[in-house]
Amino acid sequence: MLKKSPLAPKVFPSLPNIKGVRLATASCDIKTSKRDDVLLVNLDPGSTAAGVFTKSKLAAESVHWSKGVLKRGNPRAIIVNSGNANAFTGDSGKKSVRDLASSTSKVVGCHPKQVFVAQTGVIGEEFLAKKVTEKLPNIIKNMNSDWKSAAKAICTTDTFIKGVGTKVKVNNKSVLINGIAKGSGMIAPNMATMLAFIFTDAAIPSTILQSLLSEVNELTFNSITVDSDTSTNDLVLLCASGRANNLVKKSRAVSQFDSFQDGLHSVMQDLSHQIVKDGEGATKFVEVNVSGAKNYTIAKGFAFSVANSPLVKTAIFGEDANWGRLVMALGKCGQELNAKKITISIGGVEVAKNGTAVFDYNERAVSKHMKGQNIILEISIGEDAGGATVWTCDLTSGYIAINADYRT
């Protein structure tokens, strides 16, 4: 791994076993022979799943395959490899995904279409499924609940291993949620990709599970950006083994899962923030909050325009409270704006208001805030109720160094 990000959490959390979910990792020499690069997850019969996928129009074959598995239902396994994205690899890439699923289904004892496939690494390089399939009979013999090894096996250019867990009550039963993720950006630094896998022992019907995931995903993984580049392989899967026996048979009410959704939100927000904190070359974690817009979508558009602006991000790296660049980023969005209604705060200090600078703002407080690791930009654009928060990191010389050297 590269030098650890200065924004990395101190330790990987201790994650409990989740009944109905078994893990195993192995080294299959996909890119190098030095590390585990394959993760197999085995799910109990009766598990449900939900998923969200990259919107790339050149999505990798594994993405198309996994969408089919989700549609069919009754998932039994997930096979993940790092080191090769198997994207833009034509018919041979398609065949290798089928081979992976088919071989996994044999060792697990299910139909190939019950096996999710997820892949991450360089685009356009041929993927040899055989490297993985020939080791599967051994891998299945070593199932465990070592979440840290699982989280490590899916990493590519990550500088730290990403995981988090929580416990909530659903219908008075304790329910666990564990999540692991990889990526130095949801938005595809290095054409490696963002993957996240979340597991729970809760029993949740798949249609409800999907709506919970989609809703929370919009506020978490779909609210982060490192560099605005969308991957061909992004995928978030949420699998529920049902072993917590929390279902009250007579009720199909979604509201019984409110606390689950809260827990899911905290797990997914934490994982998505970990990805931003591992954004390539990142030295600062940045929250962009836009309020007063007509609706959530418009607010999020403005927030992302700020969070994706190279000029805003380099100013933050330079610890420069250059709010004129925020004005630029708002203005280029295409949505109507009234300058006189715009207020901009940095670290809680108003620096611009009513369409002009606050000439006597506390420069010392703002300068101190800019030198910190957590930067908060708050922008109000009017009196309407629409608001959104997105997260990003700064754009640094480290980003250039990492990405100019990637394949060589």
Residues of span 30-49 touching a copy of itself by CB under 8 A: none
Cα 219 to Cα 265: distance, rounded to the nearest angstrom: 8
Q: Which is nearer to a copy of itself, 248 or 357 (by Cβ)? A: 357
Total chain residues near a copy of itself (CB under 8 A): 72
CB of 155 to a copy of itself, least distance (A): 19
| Stretch 363-382 residues interacting with a copy of itself (CB under 8 A) | none
DSSP codes, 21-61: EEEEEE---SS-SSS--EEEEEE-TT-EEEEEE---TT--H
Assess 124 for contact with a copy of itself (CB under 8 A): yes
Nearer to a copy of itself, 219 or 311 (CB): 311
Residues that are catalytic: 193
| DSSP code, position 155 | -
Angle between helices 296-307 and 310-317 (to 10 degrees): 60
Tell whether residue 87 is a contact of a copy of itself (CB under 8 A).
yes
Count of other CB atoms within 10 angstroms of residue 46: 13
Nearest distance from C-beta of residue 264 to a copy of itself, angstroms: 27
Closest CB to a copy of itself among residues 256, 322: 322
Pairing of β 48-53 and β 235-240: antiparallel
Residue placing its CB nearer to a copy of itself in the complex, 121 or 263? 121
Query: 99, 125, 158, 278: which one contacts a copy of itself (CB under 8 A)?
Result: 125
Least distance to a copy of itself, CB of residue 181, Å:
19
Q: Which amino acid would we find at residue 273?
A: H
Tell me which residues in 164-193 interact with a copy of itself (CB under 8 A): 188-191
- In whole angstroms, the minimum distance from the beta carbon of 352 to a copy of itself comes to 6
* 213 makes contact with a copy of itself (CB under 8 A): no
Question: Residue 318, interface with a copy of itself (CB under 8 A)?
Answer: yes
Helix or strand (DSSP H, E) at 345: strand 343-346
Q: Binder to a copy of itself among 150, 330, 366, 375 (CB under 8 A)? A: 330
For 334, counting Cβ atoms within 10 Å of its Cβ (0-12 exposed, 13-18 middle, 19+ buried), the class is: exposed
* The one segment of 110-118, 225-233, 286-294, 372-380 that binds a copy of itself by CB under 8 A: 225-233
Alpha carbons 86 and 97: distance in angstroms, whole number: 9
Decide whether 248 or 401 has the Cβ nearer to a copy of itself.
401
Q: What is the CA radius of gyration of the chain?
A: 22
For residues 335-354, which are near a copy of itself according to CB under 8 A? 335-337, 339-340, 352, 354
CB of 139 to a copy of itself, least distance (A): 28
Q: What are the structure tokens assigned to 185, written together?
A: 């950006």
Residue number with CB closer to a copy of itself (57 or 364): 57
Determine, following the binding rule CB under 8 A, whether residue 92 of this chain makes contact with a copy of itself: yes
362 binds a copy of itself (CB under 8 A): no
Q: Strand, coil or helix: what is 82?
A: strand
Applying the rule CB under 8 A, the residues between 129 and 168 that interact with a copy of itself are: none
Residue 255 interacts with a copy of itself (CB under 8 A): yes or no = no
Q: Should residue 407 be labelled a site residue for a copy of itself when binding is judged by CB under 8 A?
A: yes
| φ, ψ dihedrals at 222, nearest 5° | -85, 10
Does 405 bind a copy of itself (CB under 8 A)? Our answer is: yes
Residue 8 within binding range of a copy of itself, rule CB under 8 A: no
Asked whether position 297 contacts a copy of itself by CB under 8 A, the answer is no
Q: Does 253 bind a copy of itself (CB under 8 A)?
A: no
Complete edge-to-edge strand list for the sheet that includes strand 21-26: 21-26, 38-43, 77-82, 115-120
Instruction: Measure CA 214 to chain center.
Output: 13
Residues contacting 49, CB < 8 A, separation 6+:
43, 69, 70, 73, 75, 116, 206, 209, 237, 238, 239, 240
Q: Which of 182, 188, 190, 187 has its CA nearest to residue 163?
A: 182
Q: Where are the alpha helices (DSSP H) in 198-336?
A: 206-219, 258-277, 296-307, 310-317, 324-331
Kindly give, in sequence order, each residue whose CB lies less than 8 Å from that of residue 362, ignoring residues fewer than 6 positions away. Answer: 349
Report, in Å, the least distance between residue 57 CB and a copy of itself. 5
Of residues 165 and 185, the one with the C-beta less far from a copy of itself: 185
Q: Which of 90, 109, 137, 372 binds a copy of itself (CB under 8 A)?
A: 90
Q: Which of residues 50-69 bind a copy of itself (CB under 8 A)?
A: 55-59
